[in-house]
């Protein structure tokens, strides 16, 4: 299927300009609120969406190249939502 790792933090970069997930998470945390909608018109491998999901934000991704859409979709499927203890 893919020859690249689907998680940029743990191996090969799945996209030539993959951003560090901690950086994207920090930016999302600083400039958005829980439940906000983020638009990423250059989605690449989906790092922004992964960070948004972890922080409880919604995200719309736009990417022209199908192979990167597939990588982003795979990364998002692998993300587990945090369990909340009541």
DSSP 25-43: HHHHHHH--TT-EEEETT-
pLDDT of 54 over the 80 cut: yes
Question: Residues near 48 by Cβ (< 8 Å), separated by ≥ 6?
Answer: 19, 24, 28, 38, 40, 59, 61
> Bigger pLDDT: 84 or 24?
24
SS3 9: helix
pLDDT of 5 over the 80 cut: no
Domain boundaries, given as residue ranges, for the chain = 8-78
pLDDT of 1 over the 70 cut: no
Tokens of 40: 């990423």
Question: Which ranges in 21-85 belong to alpha helices (H)?
Answer: 21-31, 47-54, 66-78
pLDDT for the residue 17: 79
The highest-level CATH class for domain 8-78 is alpha beta
């Amino acid at each position: 299927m893919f020859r690249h790792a689907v998680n940029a933090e743990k191996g090969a970069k799945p996209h030539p300009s993959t951003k560090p997930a901690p950086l994207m998470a920090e930016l999302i945390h600083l400039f958005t609120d829980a439940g906000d909608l983020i638009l990423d018109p250059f989605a690449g491998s989906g790092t922004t969406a992964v960070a948004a999901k972890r922080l409880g934000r919604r995200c719309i991704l736009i990417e022209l190249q199908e192979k990167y859409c597939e990588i982003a979709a795979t990364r998002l499927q692998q993300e587990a939502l945090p369990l909340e203890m009541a």
